[in-house]
Amino acid sequence: MADRDVAVVGGGPAGATAAVFIARRGLDTVVFDRGRSSIARCAHLENYPGFPEGIDVETLYGLLHDHAETAGAAVIDDMVESVERAGSGDPDGDDSEREGFIVTPQEGDSVTARRVVAATRYDGEYLRGLDDEDAMFEEYEHGGEIHESFVRDYADRDGTTPVEGLYVASPSEEADMQAVVAAGRGARVARRVVADARIDDGWWEEAALGYDWLRREAARDDEWADRDRWREWFDDHHGEDAPVDPASDRFRRVRESFVDNRLAQYVSDEDVARRTERGHVALAGHLDPAAVADAHDPADLLDELDDDAIRGYLDGRVGPPGTETGK
């Protein structure tokens, strides 16, 4: 059995985004990252949405990794040297009997993973040998010398490759030098990874390609709070064309998992408030305190605080002053 469901190689915008989407769907995910790779060449990011004055690379990188860890992924500061097929244990066994990959970093222990997402813009050398046809690399001439580079259209648009279980978010034709484009590429590839993991668990293509969208409970009609209503919806949309018998245990199991996912996508106003607070605190943890103070009128901040809130925060009983639990 593999140590991890998914190993992501590269922790930049593409890799971290992929890890967030994958880990949030319950897959055991690890990210290997050493340094800031190509994003280090950017002096300041001016076009990443949500940051009107831009954002420095260090802060964005920290936020990306925090997000991946909050979603449930482990982020390991180590560089991957090789990714190899995990053997079946039978030297004469064929590829169909093999299980996942062996991911070997420079310093730490190797891990096995059922799936691997490559997310390193400039270097795919660690993947060499995975394709029996050696179709990942191509030669080109530069300065009178022959060089090799990763074939950027090797992966399909959703990240899938001829090597089963291997997905490429970067290098690719789509994940160019813009960080936001790379992040989008990572999300698209993650969607495919999650769908394939569901298919391995008995789902089928049309049902496995779900969406990830939280909605307020207050906006939900009462009928959609009922599991039976969602079961009816599933039967109407997937029952007739499903590749399995709607009366089978497999169909019922997939349907119940689908209903669980849909019901979990509705959250209360109280939960929204808690998530908002945690989000603000997490963001503030990456900001210069002096910059935060400069952005607010001191009088407004003092009006929101009282002695009990300050003492409670120092004692660890409540959240930071000015937050929902730290008023």
pLDDT along the chain (327 residues), means of 10: 92 96 96 80 90 93 95 96 78 54 95 96 87 86 85 93 95 81 95 96 91 88 94 93 93 96 94 94 90 76 60 57 50
Q: 254 with 322, same domain?
A: no
Structural domain of residue 227, as residue ranges? 205-264
70/83 same-domain check: yes
Domain identity same for 160 and 292: no
CA distance 154 to 130: 13
The confidence score (pLDDT) of residue 31 equals 98
Whether 82 and 150 map to the same domain: the answer is yes
Burial call 59-76: b when 16+ CB within 10 Å, e when fewer: ebbebbbbbbbebbbbbb
Residue 105's CB is within 10 A of a number of other CB atoms, namely 20
pLDDT of residue 36: 59
Question: CA 233, 237, 242, 247 torsion: positive or negative?
Answer: positive
Last residue of a domain, one of 264, 292, 312: 264
The pTM (predicted TM-score) of the whole model is 0.86
Give Rg (Cα) of the chain: 23
Task: Give me the pLDDT at residue 240, please.
Answer: 87
Residues 285 and 220 in one domain: no
CB of 117 within 8 A of CB of 15? yes
- Total domains in the fold of the chain: 3
Are the CB atoms for 319 and 285 separated by under 8 Å? no
In sequence order, the 6+-apart residues with CB closer than 8 A to the CB of 161 are 131, 154, 155, 167, 168
What is the predicted pLDDT for the residue at 118? Answer: 96
Verify that 211 and 305 share a domain, yes or no: no
Model pLDDT, residue 141: 82
Q: Are residues 260 and 122 in the same domain?
A: no
How far is Cα 321 from Cα 327, in angstroms, rounded to an integer?
6
Shared-domain flag, residues 120 and 236: no
Same domain, 55 and 16: yes
The whole-number pLDDT of residue 165 equals: 96
CA distances from 73 to 3, 7, 141, 172, 228 (A): 13, 10, 40, 23, 33
Last residue of a domain, one of 146, 170, 200: 200
Among candidate residues 247, 264, 281, the one where a domain is terminated: 264
Q: Are 192 and 1 in contact (CB under 8 A)?
A: no
**Are residues 164 and 47 part of one domain?**
yes
Helix (H/G/I), strand (E/B), else coil: 79? coil
Whether 82 and 221 map to the same domain: the answer is: no
CATH number at residue 85: 3.50.50.60
Q: What DSSP state is assigned to residue 222?
A: G
**CB 101 within 8 Å of CB 112:** yes
What DSSP element (H or E) covers 277?
helix 269-284
C-alpha of 295 from chain center: 32
Q: Say whether both 81 and 144 belong to one domain.
A: yes
Measuring CA to CA, which residue among 190, 212, 194 is closest to residue 203? 194
